[in-house]
Amino acid sequence: MSISHERPEAQGRQGPVRAPQSLAGGIFLLALAALALWLGRDLSQGTLSSMGPGMLPDWLAIGVGLCGLALVFFAFTKDGEALEGWSLRGPALVIIAILAFAVTIRPFSFGPLSIPGLGLIVAGPLAIIIGGFASPDSRLRELVILSLSLTPFCMILFGDLLNLPIPVFPQALTGLFPAEWSQKDVLRATAAIMAAAAVVVYFAGRRRGRTTEIEVPDHSGRI
């Protein structure tokens, strides 16, 4: 009597593809990388000492493409999950988040629709929160904390350290800062305010949670 050690989802599978889910994921990542490279074909890459607007997107797209190639390779060499049904919620919200970021970070016009440039201070958190709801387990407070933490990190990384020309805030807010401040001074101050707001939201949520636990009565009716 022979005992099969083959994974249950791999039994009865025929053909060279041993992991259909990995194959589908790899093809999707390759298509996404190709689209990103095509859309950024007119952007200058610059040099390592003076990065252009196209360097980071191009190398990110190349990294995504290499991950796609790895998934395609493993789909033919290792047993994996079968291709199952999936919900449109995740991909739809991720696409909406990308579009929301694109139309809000800089001024956008399409026919009668016109959106003023809101900068990274609005576009970043908006994209993170919308994209975060792609997971059904997401909570608004956690997404707000993440957006208020990740956005200032991106501000310092791209605007301060890499000197990329990224709009940080709406032009209407430029008067809130002293006129003698440089663009980097404004960027650092804005990042510090957002990071402090993330800390406040985090501890406020923890305090509310503890208060709720204390006020819940036990089975005897006492608090």
The predicted-structure confidence for 142-196, as pLDDT tens digits, reads as follows 999 999 999 999 888 888 887 777 788 777 776 777 888 888 888 888 899 999 9
Cα–Cα distance measured from residue 204 to residue 211, given in angstroms and rounded to the nearest whole number: 11
Q: Which of the four pLDDT bands, split at 50, 70 and 90, describes residue 79?
A: confident
87-127 confidence digits (pLDDT tens): 788 888 988 998 898 888 888 888 888 888 888 899 999 99
- The answer to whether the beta carbons of residues 166 and 159 sit under 8 Å apart is yes
pLDDT confidence of residue 153: 92
- The answer to whether the beta carbons of residues 58 and 45 sit under 8 Å apart is yes
Cα–Cα distance measured from residue 108 to residue 106, given in angstroms and rounded to the nearest whole number: 6
Q: Is the pLDDT of residue 6 over 70?
A: no
Q: Whole-model pTM?
A: 0.67
**In whole numbers, what is the pLDDT of the chain averaged over residues?**
81
DSSP H/E element including 183: helix 183-215
